């Protein structure tokens, strides 16, 4: 694949970020982008933010809102860049300083770690692309931010966001949910937390059809840092509604590499490293007081699974399977389904697990290789959002389980006002009950 990579870079030397727009339409805001690759094609993706149910505190097209939309385009563009991997990215609609360019190159490179690995591409962070800005920097005028006591919570429909919703519900924290593209499990888990679906900030992100055509034509495809799109699109939503906090549900386990010994992490944009970088960007580039953090960062997947297991109102609603998500089912044939089953196994009866999944996944012959990967017996972990080898092994054989349940990751960005609810969860998960 390396020869193919070098050939495409010669044939298509420049990726252009031509323009973006923020347009207020009836019942929504449209964020539109225009990208192109020399000698290949143009791409014009669009994301819709639905506004009928929103109390908008800040202008959707203020200078700060425009800048957030511009930066969202810097995340979006990597999905299109990767098809041919041009060595130059030329930005025609915004300016980045030298330090800011390095910030973006770190996100792009680490977020593409799985893409490079699985496509057999050898690239280094310094040289995989160069960034050129064709417009000069403009002076930034501070704009007052109208904020209120409110958290915006991305809801993916899995157990992690269920736990975050439950914790915030228990502390009576005002919140709104946030979704990227509707799926039934997202609304159903939000409602299971006793929130009305009208309190969901909904967005719809579309992929430019030209990208799908390049894939059919044999150009590169692969994983990109989708959670970084959630971060910037969520930040745009949080800004418009005046939220204090953008509260994630990423656990300590997300920091572990997918490929042992290499900096290849399927979950890079869920990691503490990216979370910290994102906070630096929010305060440094945008000058906003919005706090971006994961409420579950102190905990491992096993601890989250134990806490989740005690709330049966979510058990029929939640879905974590990427394969079956559009049909609102567990496919019961992928590593993600198996991993969730394995995490819940120490805390739920077999009858309860079969009630969720429909069958005993631990006994499926077709999933045995995935099980070995989860247990660290193969070259890599599955390229899914799964936990550590240590906790998978503990869930499988019971050894070391209490040690993990007693653990607490102090590397987090959680504000002090959430300390009581975090302490309560910690006490719950380490108890022997």
Per-residue pLDDT 10s for the chain (433 aa) are 899 999 999 999 999 999 999 999 999 999 999 999 999 999 999 999 999 999 999 999 999 999 999 999 999 999 999 999 999 999 999 999 999 999 999 999 999 999 999 999 999 999 999 999 999 998 887 788 999 999 999 999 999 999 999 999 999 999 999 999 989 999 999 999 999 999 999 999 999 999 999 999 999 999 999 999 999 999 999 999 999 999 999 999 888 878 876 677 888 999 999 999 999 999 999 999 999 999 999 999 999 999 999 999 999 999 999 898 889 999 999 999 999 999 999 999 999 999 999 999 999 999 999 999 999 999 888 888 888 999 999 999 999 999 999 999 999 999 999 999 999 999 999 987 5
Within 8 A by CB and 6+ apart from 73, the residues are 17, 20, 33, 93
What is the predicted pLDDT for the residue at 108?
97
Q: Which of 370, 40, 22 is CA-nearest to residue 208?
A: 40
37 SS3 class: strand
- Helix (H) or strand (E) run with residue 226 in it: helix 226-241
Here the tokens at position 309 are: 């297991």
Here the tokens at position 193 are: 């937390």
What is the predicted pLDDT for the residue at 433?
55
What is the predicted pLDDT for the residue at 324?
87
What is the predicted pLDDT for the residue at 209?
97
Q: Which of 51, 76, 74 is CA-nearest to residue 61?
A: 51
pTM above 0.75, yes or no: yes
Backbone dihedral angles phi then psi of residue 175, each to the nearest 5 degrees: -150, 165
Q: Which of 43, 325, 10, 383 is CA-nearest to residue 212?
A: 43
What is the predicted pLDDT for the residue at 143?
80
- Contact at 8 Å (CB) between 300 and 404? yes
For 350-393, give the DSSP string. Answer: HHHHHHHHSS-GGG-GGGHHHHHHHTT-SSS--SSS---HHHHH
Here the tokens at position 171 are: 């502390």
- d(Cα 273, Cα 65) in Å, to the nearest integer? 25
């Amino acid at each position: 694949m390396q020869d193919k990579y070098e050939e495409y870079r010669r044939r298509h030397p420049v990726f252009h970020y031509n323009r973006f727009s923020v347009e207020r339409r009836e019942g929504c805001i449209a964020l539109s982008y225009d990208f192109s690759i020399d000698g290949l094609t143009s791409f014009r993706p669009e994301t819709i933010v639905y506004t009928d149910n929103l109390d908008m505190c800040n202008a959707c097209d203020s200078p700060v809102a425009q800048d957030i939309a511009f930066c969202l385009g810097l995340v979006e563009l990597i999905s299109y860049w990767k098809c041919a991997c041009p060595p130059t990215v030329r930005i025609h609609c915004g300016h980045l300083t030298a330090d800011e360019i390095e910030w973006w190159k770190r996100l792009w490179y680490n977020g593409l770690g799985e893409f490079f690995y699985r496509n057999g591409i050898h690239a280094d962070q310094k040289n995989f692309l160069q960034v050129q800005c064709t417009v000069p920097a403009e002076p930034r005028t501070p704009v007052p931010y109208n904020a209120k006591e409110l958290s915006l919570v991305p809801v993916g429909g899995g157990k992690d966001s269920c736990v975050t919703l439950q914790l915030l519900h228990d502390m009576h924290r005002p919140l709104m949910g946030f979704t990227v593209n509707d799926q039934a499990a997202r609304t159903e888990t939000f409602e299971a937390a006793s929130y009305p679906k009208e309190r969901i900030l909904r967005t719809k992100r579309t992929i430019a059809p030209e990208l799908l055509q390049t894939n059919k034509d044999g150009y590169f495809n692969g994983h990109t840092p989708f959670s970084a799109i959630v971060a910037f699109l969520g930040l745009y939503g949080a800004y418009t509604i005046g939220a204090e906090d953008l509260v994630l549900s990423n656990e300590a386990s997300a920091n572990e590499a997918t490929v042992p010994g290499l900096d290849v992490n399927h979950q890079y944009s869920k990691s503490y490293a990216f979370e910290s970088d994102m906070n630096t960007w929010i305060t440094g580039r945008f000058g906003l007081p919005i706090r971006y953090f994961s409420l579950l960062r102190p905990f491992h997947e096993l601890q989250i699974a134990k806490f989740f297991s005690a709330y049966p109102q979510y058990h029929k609603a939640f879905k974590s399977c990427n394969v079956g998500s559009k049909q609102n089912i567990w496919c019961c044939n992928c590593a993600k389904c198996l991993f969730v089953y394995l995490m819940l196994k120490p805390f739920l009866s077999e009858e309860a697990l079969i009630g969720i999944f429909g069958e005993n996944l631990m006994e499926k012959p077709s999933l045995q290789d995935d099980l070995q990967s989860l247990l660290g017996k193969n070259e890599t972990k599955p390229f899914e959002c799964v936990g550590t080898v240590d906790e998978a092994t503990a869930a499988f054989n019971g050894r070391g389980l209490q040690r993990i349940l007693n653990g607490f990751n102090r590397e987090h960005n959680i504000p002090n006002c959430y300390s009581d609810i975090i302490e309560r969860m910690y006490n719950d998960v380490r108890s022997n009950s």
